[in-house]
C-alpha cells in the first residue's frame, strides 16, 4: 500500500479563495482610522496640503487669476452682496465672542445661570477659539509671517513679490495673508459639533462646512487670500480644536471644572461686593 505524506494530502486540498477587497472596505478602514486618531489625521492632511503648496507654489497664483480681471483688479470686492457676506462673517465671529464672554460673566455673577451653563463645553469653546483663530492664526502667523495678499503682489498690480505659503519674511508689514483669519474663524465653528446634542450634529457640521466654504471663497474672490491661506488655516484650526476637545471634553476630570466654578463664583462675589460698596458710599462733597 502506498502512503501519502501529509504535505501531499495538503496539496490535494484546494485553498479557499478570498474575495478581492472592495473600495468601500478601504473607505471604512480609513474612516475608522480617522475616528481613532483624529488629531493625527488632521495633522497629516494639513502637512500633505502644505507640502503640495510648497512643491507647487504656482497653484496659488493660478487660482487667484480666476478672480482677477486685468485693469479692474478683483471686482468681487466691490459687489454689495459679497461685501455683505463678509460683514456677516465678521459679525458672526463677534457675536460668538460676545456670547462666550457673557456666558462666563453669567457663571460669575448669576448663580442660577451658572448652574444652567455647563462649564466643560464652555471651557472647550473658549480655549479652542482663543488658541486657534485667536493666538495661532491672528497673532503668531498673520502678525509676523509677512506674506503679501494676492492684490498686493506684482502679478495683480501690487508692489510686492509673491511669497509661497509657509515661507516667512515677505514684505507685508502686518495683518498679512497667511493664513486667512476669517476663513479660520469660520472653520472653528465646527467646534460646535462637539457640544450640540447628537441629533443636531450632522446638520450642524453640514451648515458649518457650507458657511466656511462660502466665507473662504469670498476672501479669495476679494484678492485678500490665496487658496493655501484658507486651506492651511482650516487645517491648523481643526488641529487645535481637536487637541482642545481631547484635553477638555474627553480627558479633563470633573473636579477641574468644579474648581473653575468655585473660582468664577469667588471672583463674581468680590465684584458684586465691590459694586455694592461703591453704590452705598456717601457722595463726596465738593
What is the chain's pLDDT, residue by residue, as a tens digit (286 residues)? 444 444 444 444 554 555 665 655 556 666 776 788 999 999 999 999 999 999 999 999 999 999 999 999 999 999 999 999 999 999 999 999 999 999 999 999 887 777 889 999 999 999 999 999 999 999 999 988 999 999 999 999 999 999 999 999 899 988 899 999 999 999 999 999 999 999 999 999 999 999 999 999 999 999 999 999 999 999 999 999 999 999 999 999 999 999 999 999 899 888 877 877 766 655 655 5
Backbone phi, psi, residue 166, to 5° = 70, 5
Rounded Cα distance, 52 and 149, in Å: 19
Residue 83 is assigned to a structural domain of this protein = yes
Rounded Cα distance, 90 and 219, in Å: 12
What pLDDT was estimated at residue 271?
A: 82
Rounded Cα distance, 78 and 151, in Å: 13
Residue 49 is assigned to a structural domain of this protein = no
Residue 126 is assigned to a structural domain of this protein = yes
Residue 116 is assigned to a structural domain of this protein = yes
What pLDDT was estimated at residue 134?
A: 96
Q: Which domain holds residue 210?
A: 66-261
Residue 45 is assigned to a structural domain of this protein = no
Domain count, the chain: 1
pTM of the shown model = 0.86
Cβ–Cβ < 8 Å for 183, 212 = yes
Three-class DSSP category at 261: helix
What pLDDT was estimated at residue 75?
A: 97
* 204 to 13, 16, 94, 197: CA distances (angstroms): 56, 47, 19, 10
Residue 226 is assigned to a structural domain of this protein = yes
Cβ–Cβ < 8 Å for 40, 33 = no
How many residues are listed for the chain in this entry? 286
Residue 200 is assigned to a structural domain of this protein = yes
- Distant-in-sequence, close-in-space partners of 165: CB < 8 Å, separation ≥ 6: 50, 53, 54, 57, 60, 147, 178, 226, 228, 229, 232
Rounded Cα distance, 105 and 101, in Å: 6
Residue 53 is assigned to a structural domain of this protein = no
Rounded Cα distance, 207 and 191, in Å: 12
150 DSSP 8-state letter: G
What pLDDT was estimated at residue 274?
A: 81
Amino acid at each position: 500500500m502506498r502512503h501519502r505524506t501529509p504535505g501531499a494530502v495538503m496539496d490535494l486540498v484546494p485553498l479557499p479563495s478570498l474575495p478581492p477587497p472592495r473600495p468601500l472596505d478601504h473607505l471604512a478602514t480609513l474612516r475608522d482610522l480617522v475616528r481613532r486618531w483624529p488629531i493625527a489625521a488632521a495633522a497629516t492632511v494639513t502637512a500633505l496640503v502644505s507640502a503640495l503648496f510648497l512643491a507647487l507654489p504656482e497653484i496659488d497664483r493660478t487660482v487667484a487669476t480666476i478672480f482677477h480681471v486685468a485693469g479692474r483688479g478683483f471686482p468681487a470686492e466691490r459687489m454689495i452682496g459679497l461685501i455683505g457676506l463678509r460683514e456677516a462673517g465678521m459679525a458672526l465671529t463677534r457675536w460668538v465672542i460676545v456670547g462666550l464672554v457673557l456666558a462666563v460673566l453669567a457663571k460669575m455673577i448669576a448663580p442660577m445661570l451658572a448652574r444652567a451653563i455647563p462649564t466643560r463645553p464652555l471651557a472647550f469653546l473658549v480655549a479652542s477659539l482663543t488658541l486657534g483663530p485667536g493666538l495661532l492664526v491672528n497673532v503668531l502667523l498673520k502678525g509676523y509671517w509677512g506674506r503679501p495678499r494676492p492684490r498686493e503682489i506684482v502679478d495683480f498690480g501690487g508692489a510686492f513679490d509673491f511669497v509661497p505659503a509657509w515661507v516667512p519674511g515677505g514684505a507685508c508689514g502686518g495683518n498679512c495673508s497667511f493664513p486667512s483669519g476669517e476663513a479660520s474663524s469660520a472653520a472653528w465653528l465646527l467646534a460646535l459639533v462637539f457640544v450640540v446634542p447628537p441629533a443636531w450634529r450632522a446638520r450642524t457640521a453640514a451648515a458649518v462646512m457650507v458657511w466656511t466654504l462660502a466665507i473662504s471663497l469670498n476672501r479669495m474672490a476679494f484678492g485678500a487670500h490665496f487658496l493655501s491661506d484658507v486651506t492651511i488655516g482650516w487645517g491648523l484650526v481643526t488641529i487645535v480644536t481637536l487637541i482642545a476637545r481631547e484635553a477638555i471634553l474627553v480627558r479633563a476630570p470633573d473636579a477641574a471644572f468644579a474648581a473653575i466654578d468655585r473660582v468664577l463664583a469667588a471672583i463674581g462675589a468680590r465684584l458684586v461686593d465691590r459694586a455694592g460698596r461703591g453704590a452705598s458710599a456717601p457722595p463726596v462733597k465738593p
